[in-house]
């Protein structure tokens, strides 16, 4: 029987406590699989997928980022921290990784980042990539340097005129970020139909009080800086060339510009001579591929890729 355990540890912001979930298999795990969740959600949303992997012999772990889930008070959702939040959130992921590895030394570890988590992971690979055995970049995207710089400037500009400052939740920033995401969907039923073709998943997300809370201006600045860091060539040059990487997502995902960003990232990594990079796109699927109606197919594909990585590691 799979054991699920909640743990807490100190954040690198030196103020907060980070909540994390561990899914522990019955026998000694053959690998560690760490999930880095996306924007406006939390670790326990991956329970079904994590339980599936734990049933295959993996120890699965995931933390709630600052400003998310049980790592934050609801009134502070969407706010990371005051100082250098992009670095702090990456280091919080790394701290969990180190804690788990100390408990289970000598076994391989795979990291998977979804959506905003993919940008956290892409920064992580530039900083700590030599310490893991594989990475899954899921439902990622890209933005031009001009757009990112403008987004940071606009967020700071709005904050200067609001009494809440960087804690302010700006409807304009939310509309700029997400307002166009439903444009290719005929007769959308909700403003979040772009998340998933699975209507039940969309409704569950909407009903979940820990999901979909608008980001603060601090949250948007953090996101923009994470994306910038993930795209900066100076950082990318620090990535290990022999790390197996899987880039995956839905071909109908607006975050990845309907597959273009995934293909572009694959090409960029290939030109950088990353030796083992794989691209896997799913036709007809949107942003949350792990929650689509055919999710078991995606589960199996992730599992099979991970198994292949583990076999290479053991050799």
Query: For 144-157, what is each residue's pLDDT tens digit?
Result: 999 999 999 999 99
Residue spans per domain, the chain: 3-143+228-314
Per DSSP (E only), the strands in the chain are: 3-10, 17-24, 31-36, 58-63, 109-114, 134-138, 245-250, 277-282
pLDDT band at 313 (very low <50, low <70, confident <90, very high): confident
pLDDT at position 312 is: 84
Topology given in CATH for the domain delimited by 3-143+228-314: Rossmann fold (3.40.50)
pLDDT tier at 1, thresholds 50, 70, 90? confident
| pLDDT band of 142, cuts 50, 70, 90 | very high
**CA-based end-to-end distance of the chain:** 30
- Per-residue pLDDT tens for 6-16? 999 999 999 99
Supply the pLDDT for residue 66.
98
Map residue 48 onto helix, strand or coil. helix
- Determine contact, residues 286/194, Cβ cutoff 8 Å: yes
Digit-coded pLDDT (tens) for 114-129: 999 999 999 999 999 9
pLDDT tens per residue across span 188-218: 999 999 999 999 999 999 999 999 999 999 9
Average pLDDT, the chain: 97
Backbone angles phi, psi at 278, to 5 degrees: -120, 140
Burial class (CB in 10 A: 0-12, 13-18, 19+), 219: buried
When pLDDT is averaged across residues 286-293 and rounded to a whole number, the result is: 98
Question: pLDDT tens-digit profile of 97-119?
Answer: 999 999 999 999 999 999 999 99
Confidence band (pLDDT; 50, 70, 90) for 289? very high
């Amino acid at each position: 029987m799979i054991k699920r355990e909640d743990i807490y540890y100190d954040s690198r912001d030196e103020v907060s406590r980070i909540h994390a979930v561990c899914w522990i298999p019955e026998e000694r795990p053959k690998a560690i699989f760490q999930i880095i969740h996306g924007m406006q959600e939390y670790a326990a949303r991956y329970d079904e997928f994590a339980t599936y992997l734990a049933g295959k012999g993996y120890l699965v772990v995931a933390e709630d980022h600052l400003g998310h889930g049980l790592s934050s008070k609801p009134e502070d959702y969407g706010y990371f921290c005051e100082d250098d939040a992009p670095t702090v959130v990456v280091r919080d992921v790394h701290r969990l990784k180190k804690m788990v590895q100390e408990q289970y030394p000598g076994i391989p570890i795979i990291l998977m980042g979804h959506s905003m988590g993919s940008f956290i992971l892409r920064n992580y690979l530039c900083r700590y990539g030599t310490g893991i055995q594989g990475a899954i970049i899921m439902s990622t995207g890209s933005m031009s340097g001009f757009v990112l710089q403008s987004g940071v400037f606009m967020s700071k500009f709005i904050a200067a005129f609001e009494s809440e400052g960087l804690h302010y939740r700006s409807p304009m920033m939310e509309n700029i970020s997400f307002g166009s995401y439903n444009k290719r969907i005929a007769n959308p039923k909700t403003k979040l139909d772009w998340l998933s073709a699975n209507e039940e998943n969309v409704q569950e997300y909407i009903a979940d009080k820990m999901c979909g809370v608008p980001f603060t201006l601090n949250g948007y600045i953090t996101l923009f800086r994470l994306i910038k860091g993930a795209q900066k060539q100076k950082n990318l040059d620090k990535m290990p060339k022999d790390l197996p990487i899987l880039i995956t997502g839905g071909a109908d995902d607006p975050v990845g510009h309907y597959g273009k960003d995934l293909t572009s990232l694959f090409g960029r990594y290939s030109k950088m001579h990353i030796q083992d990079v794989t691209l896997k796109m799913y036709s007809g699927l949107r942003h949350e591929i792990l929650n689509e109606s055919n999710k078991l197919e995606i589960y199996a594909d992730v599992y099979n890729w991970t198994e292949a990585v583990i076999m290479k590691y053991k050799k």
